[in-house]
Structure formats: C-alpha cells, structure tokens
Structure 1
C-alpha cells in the first residue's frame, strides 16, 4: 500500500450489495421502479440478485460472464482476501462509519458473492447476466431506464485513457432510454485523486444531447469519493 492511494494491478472483481448501491448512487424507489436497470462491470456484486428479489427488473454485464463461472467466482472470493489484506495496512485512511470495521467490511463482501453465485447459477436467472465489456455492450439502443457503473469507469484512469472514457460514456448513453439516467461512482482514480478530465467529459455529454451533474453519494469510505456522476440521457 502506498502512502496515497490503493495499489491494484488489473481490474478487481467487485462484490457489493444492494444497500451499498442504494447509498453510493442515491437510489430512490422511483428510480428502481422505472426499470429495466443495468449494472455495468458488475463483477460479483449481488445488486442484480437482490434487486430482482425485491421485484425490480435488473440485469448485469461483465467481461467475466462468459465461460468458466466457477473459476471467476473463485477469483472473486480470492479478491476479497487480497483487498482485505490491503485495507488492513491502511485502515486509518478510510471512513468506517458505514461498514463499522474491517471485519464487517469483509463479511459484507463475502455475503455479496454468495448471493451473486446463487443467482447467477440459477437457470431461471441466467438471462439477467450478459457477457460484454465497454466500450461496446451487447444491447440495443434505448434499452435501459437506469444504467449504473460502480467502481470501474474512473477508478482505473491510469489503465484506461481519455479516449476509452469518451467511447464508454457514449455507449452508456446509447443504451439508455431517452429520459433515463446513467450513474457512475466513484469520480476518483485509485490514487484518490479526482478524475482530471471530468469537465471535458461533461461538456462532451452536453454536446451529444445529455446533461451531467455531480451529486452527493451517501457511501462514505474511500477518501475524496463524496460524489457520483448523474447523466440525464
């Protein structure tokens, strides 16, 4: 662990719960009821499983949703071990007011991957998980009313350049219904610094008929991660 930031090689397989999504994206019941909802780069998060259990129409897409399901579930469980060890070395940098402790944070990750694994392996739920990766997703135009992207887009700014982010944002706008919304969190990179070209991207969104604003997130944890990006398609 460096003095400033979180060390990560490659893209980690995230495992987060429905309640974490509600808090990080400021989700209201009216947002969820409009459906369908898409979780982009969803990893091993249980949001889709929990949302459908609550009666909402939710789907997930990720490059790992191809073959080898048991292998990438195993990968996600290993990532929990790895990330917990990293967090243990830098606990003082994080805000634990939501999670309570490192142990509870880990328990939440473990519960999320278990819910995810049960859902994704259920034949009746298989259609809710699609293989695909930004900047090209396997969906038709104007398909989703709400598109969510957690802990991927700007977090890996050092690995994915500005051109990728342009293409990715435009792709999310393509699959979002007119009047729908796209929400992205966090707006910082792994070095805990704000994404440096956010204003340019917001201007690009405006040029393509959308509108973007930064809104407060209610999931305190990562330093300087107090807002999410809300895009009105």
Structure 2
C-alpha cells in the first residue's frame, strides 16, 4: 500500500458514515413536505442520511454536502456498513441513554440505519452531482443559494471537539449561503448536556438581526435531544 493510500485509509477511518432517515429529518426539524416544496434545500453535513435521496424522488430540491464525499462511493458504503455494526455493538452498553419509542429496539434501529445507507448509496450512484464534498467551516456555494439549510448532529453535538470560534465561523458561513432560514438539531452534546455556549450563540445571532427560537421536536432518541434551533435571517 502506497503512502497516499495509507493516508486515504486513515482519513476515511476518522469519518463516521452513518445516517438518519427522511422521516427522522421531518420530525427532527418539525417540517412537512408541503413546507419544503418549491424551496432549495441544503443538508449540511449530510453523511449517509437518506433525506436527499428520498426527498428528491418526491419532487423536492435538496443538495447534500459533507467532508465524507471526498472519498470514493464504494469506500464510503463499506465504511458505513462497518460503522453500523460498531454502533449497534456500542448501543448495547449505553441503551439507558436513549429513548426507545421512535425505535422499538436495537434491531429496529439497525434496520433504519441500513435503509438510510442503502438509499443514500443508490442515490449517490445515480445522482452524484447532488453530493458535494466540503470542508467546514467553508462552503463552495454562492451567497443566498439555498432557501433552507438543515444541519443535524454536528454543531453543538461535538462541543468537546469544535470550539466556540469554530461554531461562530461555521454559523456565519451557513448564514451566507442561506436565503431564509437555518435549522440545527439537536441542542445538546454527545453526553446529552445542553451546549454550554448556546445562549451566547443566540445573542450573537440576534445582534446580527436574526430571529432565533428554540422549538421542541416530536423526535427524541438520544435522551434530552428533543429540540432544535430555528434561525430566520434578518432582512
């Protein structure tokens, strides 16, 4: 194996390629299909979620972006399959940190994650132009290119890895490419604790003339992860 191949293998091993379903997205972000019709939507970062795949088949206009998309599709699918196995093994030891209403049990969760990966992988093969590789906090899109931007399980979630300045820089970039609004889910970190700088973030956004509100979601799987932040851009 060459050094370049070794480096690529190491880089993909650092990525967790796992995704949520289209229905989970609607529930996490308190959205209906009717609200999304006629809108240009960005899922950032999208991972192995099926939101783009299913949404576009239903006539929506969705683009997905993620650092994972720099890698070959076959490598990502293999990584996704491995990550599902590892995640389910881990879930056995931390089941008490999750609410088992949305999913009946670990087998049900596995089926949903596998289905999302399959839908994403098939759509990437058929419509690769919808899947844009990016490295946050920078995005390769025009100002106001998207009406709605959805961001799940990244900002706030990885609070121990992403500092406050990274959050601010990323939010500024999300605002730049959004025309109308941004929705971020959840508002807690991996331990289920509310992001410590959330009030400071809200104040920053309000000072930029954004309207910011916390909205309870009908979706709760990780305990305490049951709310999202809706940011409406100021005019």
Question: Is this a same-fold pair by TM over 0.5?
Answer: yes
Deviation, 1:10, is 5.4
How many positions carry a matched residue from both structures?
221
Partner of 1:70: 74
Q: Which whole-Å CA distance do the structure 2 matches of 1:112 and 1:45 have between them?
A: 6
Q: Secondary structure at the match of 2:122?
A: helix
Answering whether residue 144 of structure 2 is matched by residue 142 of structure 1, we say: yes
Looking at structure 2, the residues matched to 147 and 169 of structure 1 have their Cα atoms a distance apart, in angstroms, of: 11
C-alpha RMSD of the superposition: 1.4
- Correspondence 1:208-227 to 2 at 5 A: 208-227=208-227
- Residue 3 of structure 1: aligned partner: none
Structure 2 gap segments, 5+ residues each: 1-12
TM-superposed deviation, 1:222: 0.6
Q: Quote the residue 2:185 is aligned against.
A: 185
Q: Spell out structure 1 runs of 4+ moving beyond 3 A.
A: none
Structure 1: state its 5+ residue gaps: 1-8
Report SS of the residue matched to 2:155.
Answer: coil
| TM-score normalised according to structure 1 size | 0.91
Match in the other structure for 2:168: 166
TM-score, structure 2 normalization: 0.90
Distance 2:202 2:34 in 1: 25
> 1:121-170 CA distances to partner (integer Å, 9 max, x unpaired)?
11xx1211101022111100001111001111111010010000001111
Cα distance in 1 for partners of 2:196, 2:15 equals: 20
The question of whether the paired residues in 1 share the 8 Å contact of 2:15 and 2:68 is answered with no
- The 2-side partners of 1:73 and 1:50 are apart by 18
Shift of 1:103: 0.4
**Partner of 1:56 in structure 2?**
60
**What's 2:93 paired with?**
89
Answer 1 or 2: which has greater helix percent.
2
Distance, in Å, in 2 between the alignment partners of 1:229 and 1:10 is 27
3-state SS, counterpart of residue 119 of structure 1: helix
